[in-house]
Amino acid sequence: MAKRTTKIIKVNYLARVEGEGALTVRFRSGQIEDLQLKIFEPPRFFEAFLRGRSAVEVADITSRICGICPVAYQMSAVYAVERALGVTVEEPVALLRQLLYCGEWIESHALHVYMLHAPDYLGYPDVVAMAKDHPREVERGLAIKKAGNAIVTVLGGREIHPINVRVGGFYRLPHKKELDALVDLLQHALEAACDGVRSVSTFPFTQALAPPELVALQPMLSNDAYPMCEGRIMSSAAVSADVADFEQTFEEIQVPYSNALHSIVKGGGAYLTGPLARFHFHQSKLTQRALDLISECSRHQLDLNQYNPSQSIVIRSLEIVHALETAIAAIKSYERPDKPCKDIELRSGTGMAATEAPRGLLYHRYSLDDDGRILDAKIVPPTSQNQRAIEEELRMILTGKAAMSKAALSQLCEQAIRNHDPCISCATHFLKLTIEDLDGLSGVDASAN
């Protein structure tokens, strides 16, 4: 009779991710018996806070959900409320919103690529240790992040939790010279970002995996651009849905071990949103410098068309280039509109919107009463949507690895999770790993935290 062994891997506090969570993997006789990505940060109750508040407050309340991606919350919130009120913002305002969003993509991606993710490939426990040997990489990340912050500061009113976005437009529009003053900084960051793509594309990557169902926005034909602020929802399987049908297409389910809900495709299973999905569908719509860099990568035998989460650092870096070029173009074409905001009339209605946060699709729905007060709110953040797909990916990666050492397994799991830049703060924070060999019969250390 075969010897039965049980081994449990627990990452009790996942490092270098945004927020607090844990991972437990239980092996029995070399097979994965259970795997749980646990988000133990307490529930945030934002959907409940919103009830009874005026619809005009959504941008300022929801931006507090996250200090890394507040603009994403503002964008999905205002577009959803505007749909409920029957308001469509004019192109110059929409363009400014896209510019603000570019600022957030740049700062959020730079933070993850250079401060959190790069140490995995270069073999350091954290960016402080990495900075001693690779100061240029870190300085590059800081320069890029500074450019993103500058956009958010000028357009959003301040660096973190911007205060200038409102339903119908903005509170204050920047003068052209204020935006023009950013161009040199953005150009400098663009050159740094291009060097960054060349650098990260030489990192050692693991093997490609079978892809999960990938989900991203599909911009309207009239705006056939890389997705950011609008579009239908599409998937690599059968999904093609209007954003208004999000809740008929996907469902959230409770799992006992996590304070964040899991999202699945109705009648289906896990799916993944974010840079890997956006790139899969829309890489041809990236800006020219990004496309040129993809060609450069392929000349160096880097295949970005396969599903390889360890290459997400390259894709994020390409999205930084795209966001910087998009931002520079938006500034150059900017003409200050007469009014910062459309007149809005508060009334009853329901509106839904989804935008592409740095980490993936972010869906909001608001139902309003006759006075425009929020009766019901629903917010589905990307990390919540990606949790199950990350769990399934970990199962795939860990299959056949039960005999590896605790340290090696822990590193493997943590890096696999960091490939997806989860924001646990949004999904409710992160990450705690434990490896245990309950019987003490396998080749790994027992009960480690």
Cβ-based nearer residue to other proteins, 87 or 115: 115
Cβ-based nearer residue to other proteins, 138 or 290: 138
- Choose the stretch contacting other proteins; rule: CB under 8 A; options: 108-116, 247-255, 390-398, 400-408: 108-116
CB of 125 to other proteins, least distance (A): 6
CB of 59 to other proteins, least distance (A): 20
CB of 228 to other proteins, least distance (A): 23
- Choose the stretch contacting other proteins; rule: CB under 8 A; options: 124-132, 282-290, 308-316, 324-332: 124-132
Quick check: 68 binds other proteins (CB under 8 A)?
Answer: yes
Quick check: 45 binds other proteins (CB under 8 A)?
Answer: no
Quick check: 416 binds other proteins (CB under 8 A)?
Answer: no
Quick check: 115 binds other proteins (CB under 8 A)?
Answer: yes
Quick check: 419 binds other proteins (CB under 8 A)?
Answer: no
Q: What number of chain residues touch other proteins (CB under 8 A)?
A: 33
Binding mask 2-31 for other proteins (x = CB under 8 A): -----------x-xxxxxx-----------
Cβ-based nearer residue to other proteins, 120 or 319: 120
Window 125-164: residues binding other proteins (CB under 8 A): 125-132, 135, 138-139, 142, 145-146, 149, 159-160
Cβ-based nearer residue to other proteins, 106 or 217: 106
What residues contact residue 55 under an 8 Å CB cut-off, 6+ apart? 81, 84, 85, 167, 346, 366, 368, 372, 373, 374
Please identify which residue in 117, 282, 322, 429 interacts with other proteins, judged by CB under 8 A.
429
Cβ-based nearer residue to other proteins, 55 or 115: 115
Cβ-based nearer residue to other proteins, 83 or 112: 112
Cβ-based nearer residue to other proteins, 145 or 359: 145
CB of 159 to other proteins, least distance (A): 7
Residue numbers at the binding site for other proteins (CB under 8 A)? 13, 15-20, 67-68, 111, 115-116, 125-132, 135, 138-139, 142, 145-146, 149, 159-160, 424-425, 429-430
